[in-house]
Amino acid sequence: MAASEADDLRVAVREFLKANSPSHRVRELMATESGYDEAVWRQMAEQLGLHGIAVPEECGGAGAGIRELAVVFEEMGAALMCSPFFSTVAMAIPAIITSGDQQAMADYLPSLADGTSTATLVLNGRLDAWDPANVTLTAERDGADFRVFGDAALVLDGHTADLVLVAATSDAGISLLVLTADADGMTREPLATLDRTRKLARISFDGAAAKLIGDEGAAATGLARTFDLAAVALASEQVGAAQRCLDMAVGYAKERIQFGRAIGSFQAVKHRCADMLVLVEGARSAAVHATEATDGNDLSIAASVAKMACSEAFLHAALDNMRIHGGIGFTWEHDAHLYVRRAKATQLMLGSPDFHAERLARLVTSSSH
């Protein structure tokens, strides 16, 4: 995508979010059980085509990729957009595409691209990093279909998703299976969490009926790539939110007068803002590099670098934004704490910085041999 096209997309998404996801609307939606506005969800798909950006054209999408999506995730992170966009677009859609199952793509992608359905993906029970050894669900064949057993303690938008995709272990290995919202034997329970702008649920599977996507026992490679793509999308989202925290802090430092001058003229505040800028720009570089690495062999390395750098930058920026605002920044009425909550939650989601540091060491060591 050309720079001018990326800028046009960014402006369109930013204007849409300014109108449909202002701070007061975020607070209203985070207090609801579903956590999103279905009319806005459909609008995003119909007017802007956001859901289908990385969906193949023959399945109703635009046929683009994570580079284009990264712009959208940045803007959504900045606005703390309440919607199942990440679970549907960053996790479920890539899982279906990387499975290589043409029939499943034709069956499920059009409704996800046009906003008439939502989906989520259970890689393991904890919304954690992908590791084939940590797959918690099991599957047993039942005629042409399967039955899924086990518990997933943390599932993104798990209580509202129309389709629940799961990684499950059977005799043949790890398979990707899909369950519909009304599947018998699947119970879904919304959870109260730190980041109220992003909904989580616990799902129990007691012999729930599921259909196979791709070949039985052959899902591990596709799910590993899906995880890397989701980590890159999350890093982009963190950059957008970190930039918003920096903008909020600098804006307040220019306006707030103490001892007859703006607090931004005080050395301690000035240095803190400068440090935030360095971290945010470094994180942006890592995220951009990761989006450009999606075509090559170094995606896993770039994804881990981005997830580490962006998690750190966002958490620092969110905390410093709160500190620069002083007492008001710590109150429930101010938005600063919403960004701190999102920063902490996303730091741990899809693998902590420590996990990614260890993974990076393994990947770099193995690639140098």
Give the mean pLDDT of 106-129. Answer: 95
Q: With H, G, I as helix, E, B as strand and everything else as coil, classify residue 147.
A: strand
156-170, 284-298, 305-319: segment of lowest average pLDDT: 284-298
Mean pLDDT of the chain: 92
pLDDT of 269 strictly over 70:
no
- pLDDT tens by residue, 121-172: 999 989 999 999 999 999 999 998 999 999 999 999 999 999 999 999 999 9
At 263 the pLDDT is 62
CATH architecture of 3-117: Orthogonal Bundle (1.10)
CA distance 241 to 247: 10
Query: pTM for this structure?
Result: 0.95
What pLDDT, on the 0 to 100 scale, is given for residue 331? 85
In CATH, what number does 120-219 get?
2.40.110.10
Angstrom distance (rounded) from CA 273 to CA 253: 9
DSSP one-letter string for 252-289 = HHHH-EETTEEGGGSHHHHHHHHHHHHHHHHHHHHHHH
Position 268 confidence tier, pLDDT thresholds 50, 70, 90: low
What is the pLDDT averaged over residues 273-284?
A: 90
pLDDT tens, position by position, 209-258: 999 999 999 999 999 999 999 999 999 999 999 999 998 887 766 766 66
Domain ranges of the chain: 3-117, 120-219, 221-368
Which is more confidently placed, 163 or 328?
163
Between these two residues, 198 and 323, which has the higher pLDDT value? Answer: 198
- Given the candidates 3.40.50.2300, 3.55.50.30, 1.20.140.10, 3.10.110.10, the CATH classification of the domain at 221-368 is 1.20.140.10
User: 79: number of CA atoms within 13 Å, CB side?
Assistant: 24
